[in-house]
Structure 1
Amino acid sequence: MLMLAESNTDEDDEHELRRFLLLSNGGTMRKLPLPEAQRQRCVSTHGWLLTTGEQEFYTKLVNPLTRAQVDLPRLYMIEELYFDQDEWMYYLFSMRKVVFTSPNPLSSDPSFRVIIVWGRIIGFCQPGDVSWTRIKGWEGHLFDISYHGARKRLYVVATMGAIYECDVTNDVLCPKALSRVTTFPGEEFGCSCVPWAYLLEWGCDSLLMVTRERYYFKKHDDEYGRYGPYRTSRFQCFVFGLDDGKWSKIASLGGKAVFIGFNSSFAIDGGEGVKPDCIYFTDDLYEPYHGLPEGGGGDVGIYHMFNGRIETLFESQESVFRSSPPLWLQTSTLPKIKGIK
């Protein structure tokens, strides 16, 4: 399901409600009370939200369906991360990704970790920690992170499709540092650059890298530069074999659907309202959300791998993306939750 952004109406009760687009229920809209996310910046993984607000830079995990919560260290406890109240908006919109090393933060799994991307920083913690731990060792711009459950490794994709890995659950290995695994051979596939990329587990011995290309209709103005009107134009998918070190391009997702955006990238089998061989995407250029007068978030849709067609997800925008991004939530517990309007 897709959790839409916070309402921008003047009605106080609407701010505590969040709308959800239920793909498995024919694309219907529902509302749930979620005051825990009110005026909070949110990213998502495994059906959970990582929220942070301006007050003291608190972070916590929130389950939007059960409303269970797990407190995490304050973000300013990340080593060498400088915070300034006057620059809050910059840092607020730099929280882009969160992944877990296992699905359930309420379990007693000693290897459970929460890993985040905050601007140019990767940090991780366990529930109960008093501070975050930095992970270092990559070059360029961070695109995405993914935890490979079978390999028990964190994987990172950065500029030009460079892939790095790190063992974040081994307490002996400290400080934590990434090591380069491979760099995407773009020339072999006719790709001169990697404009944006996502990474996810693809079977027990592979990674899937999805590249995203956007078309900019025109510059908004000199101040905002390239963040004028834009739309996603194309995705391409490449598989990297962790055992043989080989890259291959794929034209089909094999009946699966991939979900990307301000969530941890994931794939599920098509069916029950989810279209197979498609990429479901939301707008994750975070600068426009606060840098453009009309806000960000309009670049949302379904990309069909077979013919490159982009389908709108729903017709009415209703200004729901003006202040915060929509988020994909992977969960199978919705029918058991009471109080859905």
Structure 2
Amino acid sequence: MTPWVDLLPEILDNIAGKLDFYEDVINLLCVCKTWRSSVTITKTLIHHLPSRFPMLMFSESKTPEDDDQHYRKFFLLSNGGTMRELRLPEAHQQRCISSHGWLLTTGEEEFYTKLIHPFSRTQIDLPQLYMFEELYFDQDEWMYYGQSMRKVVFSSSNPLEYDPSFRVVIIWGKTIGFCRLGDVSWTRVRGWEGNLLDITYHEKRKRLYAVTTMGLIYECDIINEVSSPLSLSRVSIFPAKEFGYSSIPWAYLLEWRYDSLLMIIRERHYFRKRDGEYVCYGPYRTNKFDCFVFNLDDVKWSKLVSLGDKAVFLGFNSSFAVDAGDGVKADCIYFTDDLYEPYRDLPDGGGGDVGVYSMSDGSIEAIFSSKESVFRGSPPLWLQTSSLPAYNRI
């Protein structure tokens, strides 16, 4: 019998050509050096393969028993939920948020920011963050600096297509800024009331949208607008009392259809320190979500009682929806912990408010049985389906 290592390159190429997912090709290449050098299809075709997204990327481990902290663990919803560990030194001691499967990272060193693809480890430099006033609040206080970056969105899914209309947009503290690839600085966006809760880019409408604590919805054209400084324009206010709300505790925004936005309100229960559940979850735990559709044409709001065959993913990632299947449950909201201040001083950290919320009955279940990596420095985050960059990993 011919040993696996001696399989003909033609046979290996034939096998590789039948693999449908990026991770499967990586697994094939990792078998041995002979296979890695023999498979030729990878270098030309792997960047066209889809990946088994969405997946959950855990925070960096801080425990003493972890000798090499250059690895990150990923929880894949497909195949019944599997764990994968990948070497990702580029994210070591970096604050991470995500959009379209890419990480936006920043660290203490001169306030650099980068886009990093966690599988290929492709890196794209972004401007430094000196334009943001929050950086000068206390430059010796790294914890404050690390917590200020809260959200990133792209104006299109793939930064490697070199689309001149591609923009990276972030919320940093109380500031919205955006840049094009190659810019030397970020451009500030102004003009809203209340505190920023979320931003999203509506690819079909070609507009950036934001929601604030008062339920105010704003929009801005960050592609063609030439005025300086750029300003958000108010388009609506959520009729909170009409839907039984006195205020909006926390909200998310995402493109829903060609003519609509989906706003999701998140309610949390806050524990007292003497509560037993405080030890398990930190200071709070999510109670429920409510979904509302804002029609951009007739400027009307309606409550959405079901997500149908879709699932929504919320946290320190750009809010997004996907079709159910491959381990993703329909009519559910997958959420991670995206508040820092309440648990930043806890001895064991925080980030335990992670789960799957069922729209049909309001139940919440755990995403995985192990609490590994949940209570460490920063919470896990979701990685969205993306076009993968050229392979340079192995």
Same fold (TM over 0.5): yes
Give the TM-score of the pair, scaled to structure 2. 0.81
Displacement of 1:175 in angstroms is 1.6
Task: Give identity over the alignment, percent.
Answer: 70
Q: Structure 1 residue 36 and structure 2 residue 123: aligned?
A: no
8 Å Cα contact 2:157-2:386 kept in structure 1: no
8 Å Cα contact 1:32-1:339 kept in structure 2: no
- Secondary structure of the residue aligned to 2:140 is helix
Choose 1 or 2 for highest CA Rg: 2
Displacement of 1:247 in angstroms is 0.2
Please give the residue correspondences for 1:319-334 in structure 2 after superposition, counting only pairs within 5 Å. 319-331=373-385
Give the TM-score of the pair, scaled to structure 1. 0.93
Whole-Å Cα distance in 2 between the matches of residues 80 and 285 of structure 1?
17
Q: What residue number does 2:344 align with?
A: 290
Displacement of 1:87 in angstroms is 2.5
Q: What residue number does 1:139 align with?
A: 193
Please give the residue correspondences for 1:3-22 in structure 2 after superposition, counting only pairs within 5 Å. 3-10=57-64, 13-22=67-76
Name the Cα RMSD after superposition.
2.1
Tell me which protein shows more helix as a share of its residues: 2
8 Å Cα contact 1:216-1:229 kept in structure 2: yes
Deviations 1:197-249 (A, max 9, x none): 0000001000000000001121479xxxxx95211001000000000011000
Cα 1:166–1:49 change in 2 (3 A) is same
- Secondary structure of the residue aligned to 1:91 is helix
Cα 1:228–1:312 change in 2 (3 A) is closer
Q: Which amino acid aligns with 1:167?
A: D
Whole-Å Cα distance in 1 between the matches of residues 76 and 356 of structure 2?
15
Q: What residue number does 2:143 align with?
A: 89
Cα 1:233–1:113 change in 2 (3 A) is same
Q: What residue number does 2:248 align with?
A: 194
Deviations 1:50-86 (A, max 9, x none): 0000111110000001111100011113478535421
8 Å Cα contact 1:102-1:112 kept in structure 2: yes
Which one of the candidate residues 296, 299, 317 is aligned to 1:245?
299
8 Å Cα contact 1:91-1:119 kept in structure 2: no
Displacement of 1:313 in angstroms is 0.7
Cα 1:302–1:251 change in 2 (3 A) is same
8 Å Cα contact 2:355-2:367 kept in structure 1: yes
Cα 1:271–1:337 change in 2 (3 A) is farther
Q: Structure 2 regions of 5+ residues with no counterpart?
A: 1-54, 276-280
Whole-Å Cα distance in 2 between the matches of residues 143 and 329 of structure 1?
20
Q: Which amino acid aligns with 1:188?
A: E
Q: Structure 1 residue 185 and structure 2 residue 216: aligned?
A: no
My pick for the range that moved more, 19-28 or 286-295, is 286-295
Q: Structure 1 residue 46 and structure 2 residue 97: aligned?
A: no
Whole-Å Cα distance in 2 between the matches of residues 300 and 46 of structure 1?
20
Deviations 1:14-61 (A, max 9, x none): 311100000123211000000000000000000000000011111000
Q: What residue number does 1:224 align with?
A: none
8 Å Cα contact 1:302-1:311 kept in structure 2: yes
Q: Structure 1 regions of 5+ residues with no counterpart?
A: 222-226
Cα 1:112–1:316 change in 2 (3 A) is same
8 Å Cα contact 2:260-2:296 kept in structure 1: yes
Whole-Å Cα distance in 1 between the matches of residues 206 and 91 of structure 2?
30
Q: Structure 1 residue 204 and structure 2 residue 261: aligned?
A: no
